[in-house]
Structure 1
Amino acid sequence: MSRAANGLRTRVRTAKGRKIGSTRWLERQLNDPYVKKAKAEGYRSRAAYKLIELDERFGFLKGVERIIDLGIAPGGWTQVVRRRLPKSVVVGIDLLPTDPIDGATILRLDFMDEAAPEQLTQALGGPADLVLSDMAANTVGHPQTDHLRTMGLVEAALDFAGDVLKPGGAFVAKVLAGGADSGLVAELKRRFATVKHAKPPASRKGSSEWYVVAQGFKS
């Protein structure tokens, strides 16, 4: 590695056997202030700051007691919840392995598995105040297909939220560029008092991700 002339930016030499794309990713990570901040503050990923910034804007963590975290790996969002709400009950699920988090129950299971909703509900032990979803489908490189697959997960997460949220609860989910489509927005507005789209500062400028924040579940 070498320092640029101004001494501020770390550059990565292209190593033998390393693809150019991998080098660019590594260089971006090394120079990302959110990555550095996450390491300094003990968060597992920079994604923790996306949730922090969304909550600062919308206040959906205030007073919540039971939370479900869909797509929990590597655990940054649940870390935020547990630090801010140490008495909360958090249940997370992911197909990927996730290291334990104090005070959280983590299920290693595909959310789309038919057994997942019941296991999540039983582990939570009561109606949820908040359902979080940072899930996104694995990309195949075809924008329209990638969008449809991810929105399919959002729709499934919303259906689940409709079954487990208590009146007044909230739903926060990752969507892609352009936000939720008109049909999904209509369904969100039918079920919640307010529906907003936001791109938190911690979300990289070049990323296609946005978040939908729905509050005031009508049951």
Structure 2
Amino acid sequence: MLRGDLVPDSTYDQRLLDRKGPTDWLHMDPWRVLRIQSEFVEGFGSLANLPAAVTVFGSARTPRDSPDYEMGVRVGHALAKVGYAVITGGGPGVMEAANKGALEADGVSVGLGIELPHEQRLNEYVDLGVEFRYFFVRKTMFVKYSSGFIALPGGFGTLDELFEALTLVQTQKVTSFPVILMGSEFWTPLVDWVRTTLAKTGKISASDVDLMRVTDDPDEAVRIILEADRHRAGA
């Protein structure tokens, strides 16, 4: 953890992807491969013994007194009560809410943090936390150790994670993997656009719209994930 003047002006991801300027990257990138490898090893080692888990996404900007925060607490609590570990990005907002709900229900609360160009820390409700430098390593951990994704209202980061999950399901890189959108008022316009624009113009199949399940009920979200797990076990 770095704070104040010790926070660097750029991130590891930015330096890895930036090809402008001096040719130092020609000499540094081979060594970065070892750092990337070490992040995979650390992540796999830290998370290997998790029970079945569900990843919860959502905005880091959600205030604690908002309905979305309360929904996040209820989601984390409902998942923990049926035995799922709850994995989030470990930050504030909805992530904190889901971790809080899991911890208050005596569940396993996991936070997978990421280096960003501003001060940050894992929230106080994480009891297993891993910090990553590279987004793609962190995303691999979200998928590898999850039985499904639940997305609460969020911004670009949430949309990035949502559509990556949908792409993995659509291309059958992962199977029996539910993607649930919590908050019908927030998500229905997006689902309508996917149906009336993407599917209608043939950019996706009509059946792809059904990869997203929209609900306002945390218990229903848990039932969807349990049913998918039972289907996977019986397959």
TM-score range, shorter chain: 0.3 to 0.5
Which has more strand, going by share of residues? 1
Which has more helix, going by share of residues? 2
| TM-score in terms of structure 2 length | 0.41
